[in-house]
Chains A and B, each alone.
Chain A
């Protein structure tokens, strides 16, 4: 019940295309859903986060879509660029345990020029 399942494991997208990564969770107590981006040799960096009271949040080319009834959320990267090539992690946490993130397994995204 503590798991967050992420798919796909790897993704190849052409430059300018839309990259879509999906996550699903079981624990309905989760109330904070961030996405992290990690480059080789670096720690994860927060991209964007959402709470379940909204269905969508957009920041620049990055959008989170959230479906509370389906217990799913996804990251959309519009106009994908080679510099977006990285590993992306979805995560979830709840309440005072917001620092205790449960991470998905990660998606290795490659943007072909």
Chain B
């Protein structure tokens, strides 16, 4: 069974630009969550989508948004990039029921210059 696939692996953007990251979950998984990982703040929850609806949201500004498609694939968008948005963005999928284990992808490394 293929794991969680994130594209692209690396991305370099300039302040003020916007970026879209993509995530393909494990087949059969209906929940996709996004996390930001930085050395200073660690792993922080961004949001979760289940059956195309945002089910949970973390404490990030509105510049961070996401969506989920009918095939469970998800995209995350960050608008008006700031230097502090440089991070590893991780996508995780699960079946979506309480306690279902999260399976993480290898992330997209975003660098904002």
**Helix, strand, loop or mixed for chain A's interface?**
mixed
Interface presence of A102 (CB below 8 A): yes
- Is B42 a contact of A43 with CB atoms below 8 Å? no
Interface presence of B26 (CB below 8 A): no
Kindly provide the distance from the CB of A105 to the nearest chain B CB, expressed in whole angstroms. Answer: 5
- Is A96 a contact of B98 with CB atoms below 8 Å? yes
Known: A43-B4, A105-B42. A98 touches B104 (CB 8 A): no
- Is B102 a contact of A101 with CB atoms below 8 Å? yes
Name the one of A34, A51, A102, A106 contacting B45, with C-beta atoms under 8 angstroms.
A102
Interface presence of A32 (CB below 8 A): yes
Interface presence of A44 (CB below 8 A): yes
Name the one of B42, B100, B107 contacting A99, with C-beta atoms under 8 angstroms.
B100
Which of B's residues lie within 8 Å of A, judged by CB? Answer: 4, 31, 33, 35, 42-45, 48, 50, 55-56, 58, 90, 92, 94, 96-107
